[in-house]
Amino acid sequence: MTTTFISTQVIPSRERLIMALDVPSIAEAQALVETLGDSVIFYKAGMELFMSGDYFGFIEWLKQRHKKVFVDLKFFDIPATVGRAIRALSSKGVDFATIHGNDAIMAAAVQEKGDLKVLAVTALTSLDRGDLDDLGFQCDIRELVLSRARRALHIGCDGIVSSGLEVPLLRQELAHRLLVITPGVRPVDNREDDDQKRVVSVEQAFQNGADYIVVGRPIRDAENPKAMAEKIQQQIAAQF
Known catalytic residues?
A: 74
CA distance 74 to 97: 7
Under DSSP, is residue 200 helix (H, G, I), strand (E, B) or coil? Answer: strand
Query: Are 99 and 90 within 8 A, CB to CB?
Result: no
Task: Determine which helix (DSSP H) or strand (DSSP E) holds 136, and give its type and residue range.
Answer: none
Q: How far is CA 135 from CA 123, 127, 139, 176, in A?
A: 12, 10, 11, 30
Chain-centroid distance of CA 17 in Å reads 10
- How many other C-beta atoms can be found within 10 angstroms of the C-beta atom of residue 111? 15
Closest CA to 70 of 11, 122, 18, 110: 18
